[in-house]
Chains A and B, each alone.
Chain A
Amino acid sequence: MDIKIPYNEDLRPDTGLYNAKLGIWLFLASEVMLFGGLFSSYILLRAGASVWPPIGLDGQSVAHLLEETIGLATFNTVALITSSVTMVMSWVSLKMKDILKFKMYMWITISCAIIFLVVKYFEYSHKIHEGFIPAHDTYMALYFTMTGLHVLHIIGGLFVLVYFVMPNGIKMWDDEPIRFTNRIEVFGLYWHFVDLVWIFLFPVLYLLN
């Protein structure tokens, strides 16, 4: 279709925005409410519990296991924060018209995301192996649901990251560099948000027990 939608690339004078920038912030607003619902539920369920993490039907609590995994979770936090700064550097590289630097930073971002997922996989399997499945108690239920939803967001972002470094996704840089730069900026906003969520998930789930 060749209908030209205004302000896809250039900025609308009175708002100072291009369409996708407004669109992504609106999407992020809804994501704030999504994770807000999750955190609100955490607060409610924790406030109603006499002991936290609760003791399951098998008489065990995951508290001791959690302490062991603080190191892993901290490592993951560092990985995501790194991916956040490399993501913004990818965008900066495009602003400086350096496509090679762009690719380099994107690949570091992708690697950090994969590392995060791998570590998460080990965390999950370790907990499940010890019998700490979501059904074990409300803390485990919240842990798996909240981090699981976050993981889904990382996986979704990973698909987009890979698309942008593959030939099909990157070829827009040749014809429409500004549009491509904007796309990276918009995705970067999403990616930073995912990092931001983890910045809160990490202390709430791992450290405040």
Chain B
Amino acid sequence: MISDNISKQVIKYWKIFALLLFCTVLTVLAVYVDFDVEGSIAGGIFVGLTIAVFKGYLVAYNFMHLNDEKPMIYWIILVTLVFFLILLFIPVMWESTLVGKY
């Protein structure tokens, strides 16, 4: 019945909630651990952002019902993400290809 299905969903939502809280704690704790890798700007930033991406995925996939959305929505999100990534990374890649820094 619909109500059975829904009560299963409800349990799942609360489980996701608990997982999100746990990840939040992890993110904060990670600040106090020195992840820095030699010669890289990654390290701590990478860990923090990975956890954030995972949390974001949990919210998007479960709360925003992306786990069973329609293809049209998936396509819109995909196209948006491609442009989002272009916007995010091209300006800063500018710096890395300069012949001489001014």
A binds B: yes
A→B interface (CB under 8 Å)? 15-17, 21-22, 25-26, 29, 32-33, 36-37, 39-40, 43-44, 47-48, 70, 74, 77-78, 81-82, 84-85, 87-89, 92, 95-96, 188-189, 192-193, 195-196, 199-200, 202-204, 207-208
13 A-B contacts (beta carbon < 8 Å): A21-B73, A33-B83, A39-B88, A47-B92, A70-B31, A78-B21, A78-B24, A84-B17, A92-B6, A96-B3, A189-B64, A203-B27, A208-B49
- Tell me the complex Cα distance, A189–B73, Å: 13
- Let me know if A192 and B70 touch, CB within 8 A: no
Which residues of A are found within 8 Å of B80, using beta-carbon distances? 29, 32-33
Which residues of A are found within 8 Å of B52, using beta-carbon distances? 199-200, 202-204
Which residues of A are found within 8 Å of B48, using beta-carbon distances? 203-204, 207-208
B→A interface (CB under 8 Å)? 2-3, 6, 9-10, 13-14, 16-17, 20-21, 24, 27-28, 30-31, 44-45, 48-49, 51-52, 55-56, 59-60, 63-64, 70, 72-73, 76-77, 79-81, 83-84, 87-89, 91-92, 95
Give the Cβ gap from B1 to chain A, nearest Cβ, in Å. Answer: 11
- Let me know if A17 and B31 touch, CB within 8 A: no
* Of the residues B17, B76, B89, B92, contact of A26 by C-beta under 8 Å: B76
